[in-house]
Amino acid sequence: MSQRPKLLVIDDGDRYIELVHALLREYDYATRCELPGPCWTCPEQRGCKLTHAHHAAEADDALRRHPDTDVVLLDVAFDIAEADLLPSSQPAHDPPEPLERRRRLQGLAILDRLRRSRTELPVILMTSLDDLALEDAGFAPGADELLTLAGADAFDARALGLLIERILARRHEVAEAGGFAWGTARAMTRLRQDATTLARTSLPILLLGATGTGKSALAEHVIHPATGRRGPFLPVDLSALPETLVAAELFGTARGAFSGAIERTGLFAQADGGTLLLDEIGNLPLDLQRMLLLTLQSGRVTRLGEAVSRTVDVKVIAATNADLEAEVRAGRFRADLYARLNPAARLVLPPLTSRIGDLKTLIDGFVGRAFAVGPDRALLGAYAEAAGLSGAPAARLTVGEPAQDSKDSDEYVTFVLSSQSFKALEAHSWPGNVRELELFVKNAVVFGLADALGAAERGRGGSAGSAAAARTIPISSRLVGELVARSWAAAPAVSSAPAGELAAEARGDFVPSVVPGPGLRDVARHLERQLYEHLFRKTGGDFAAMAGVLLTGDPAANARKVRLRFNQLGLKVRDLR
């Protein structure tokens, strides 16, 4: 990133470019001209139309000129000639989308195009109170932020500037820090920002995500340090405790509270001044849910067998892979406790399949971690000695051929995955998510290292007399295939999003009514409208959840397609709410 971040404005008019040029001059701007900036000092500025992009084609031109663009500011409504509009995504057999609607939502079409060509480029979607109702743009999953401008220049510039800085702060973070592998996926950069923000508050944090996505690691290595608290981090897995012991474990006991009870300090008291992770919170029995609710509300805990409560100052993190909203509806989880756990600001850890672009970064991080300390580090040292390598090398991994002229090659033992093996990893479903990947990586490199150690001890294996060869350990493609095939048994999918992926329930109770029409296409369209209305109500208007029911693949990525089809069927968000 350049010293001054660079912004691209995409807007059919001059309102937004005039605003940022007047009040946000601490940034550079991606223009379509060759003159040096900034635009507000340029003698040719009067009447210039090259200051920003007015439609999709000009946006492509600006990004070609400025590949170092950091953030895009994108309008939603575009009152431009039909020839400059992006082609409609309407299926060919459907009636054509009205021209005015295409203009009113052209920004969403440009956003979709940007997401396909520049996946990681941050986009702030902008609209005004007069141009577009918030709900019409609020379901654009590809946007990093959405800003509705109020019409007051100073206020709007301030709001826009803070959003830009929030996005830039996310991009500055390194891929791995504090023992937690972040990668570069957009969902993870947003998660990092939100996690560190919530950590500094007194609010509880609710972590959702499938098994193996890293909820416990996020709590321990990111959230707890970010709280600034000096007390301990204490985790408890509520699914591993017998129901009869949960209350004593959490709240403590006084001597004689029940038969055999001794003086016992509960986890809430032990975590005073620190952080308590309540893992698998969905397993907490109903009677204890009330006790937990009272503790969260009052900041006080009462030991079993005592009448006097004690004040505790604990940062509470609750984690689960269950759909707590479904549990509330089923009467198995208290609605008031769920509300107290701060679900509005819940943090959802995405599955590995939705951040597959981070695979190489995650693998390399796990390789380094595997040989940092302990028996595996000793095994690497034994190999270095047997192979005649100087020093105590670190470990890393590359895909394809290792770089022969790397300046730091003497500091590493490099494990090499073939391109075919890496493609197999990219295609794997990873039901165990990041946890499965880490176990796979540790097994692969340890087996590969053990083979290399045995060969070195026998003076064979093709490394004799060549330190460069000895520092390279290929990982067998067959080993990769065997480890992947045996690594994890896929569990039944459990939703981690509230109103969750209600696929089975949503499909199971859908009973359409058939209304005869002039043609089969009309009948099918009417049935499709009913299905979309039903799913909209079932999921509370969550288009990603609807996509999880209707389409295979990543629901977040498919939400845009579902939203477009929803609009094409003539359905309105405001009418269904």
More confident residue, 438 or 150: 438
Q: CATH code for 6-174?
A: 3.40.50.2300
pLDDT in tens, 168-207: 876 655 444 556 777 777 778 778 888 888 999 999 999 9
pLDDT for residue 354: 85
pLDDT in tens, 248-303: 889 888 876 666 666 778 899 999 999 999 999 999 989 899 999 999 999 998 88
Q: Measured between alpha carbons, how far is residue 466 from residues 456, 458, 469 in Å?
A: 12, 15, 5
Residue 31 has pLDDT above 80, yes or no: yes
pLDDT for residue 500: 39
Question: Looking at domain 186-350, which CATH architecture does it have?
Answer: 3-Layer(aba) Sandwich (3.40)
Strand partners, 234: 276
Which of 153, 141, 110, 134 is closest to 9 using CA atoms?
110
Residue 209 has pLDDT above 80, yes or no: yes
pLDDT for residue 263: 76
Q: Compute and round to an integer the Cα radius of gyration of the chain.
A: 28
Q: What is the DSSP string of 21-50?
A: HHH-TTSEE--SS-S-S-GGG-TT-TT---
Q: What is the mean pLDDT of residues 100-108?
A: 87
- Which of the 8 DSSP states describes residue 183? -
DSSP three-state, residue 512:
coil
pLDDT in tens, 316-325: 999 999 889 8
pLDDT for residue 402: 64
DSSP three-state, residue 208:
strand
CATH 3.40.50.300 residue spans of the chain: 186-350
pLDDT for residue 160: 92
CB 249 within 8 A of CB 243: no
Residue 540 has pLDDT above 80, yes or no: no
pLDDT in tens, 477-500: 888 888 888 877 654 444 444 433
DSSP three-state, residue 205:
strand
- pLDDT averaged over the chain? 82
CATH 3.40.50.2300 residue spans of the chain: 6-174
pLDDT in tens, 331-390: 999 999 999 999 988 999 989 988 888 898 889 888 888 888 888 888 888 888 888 887
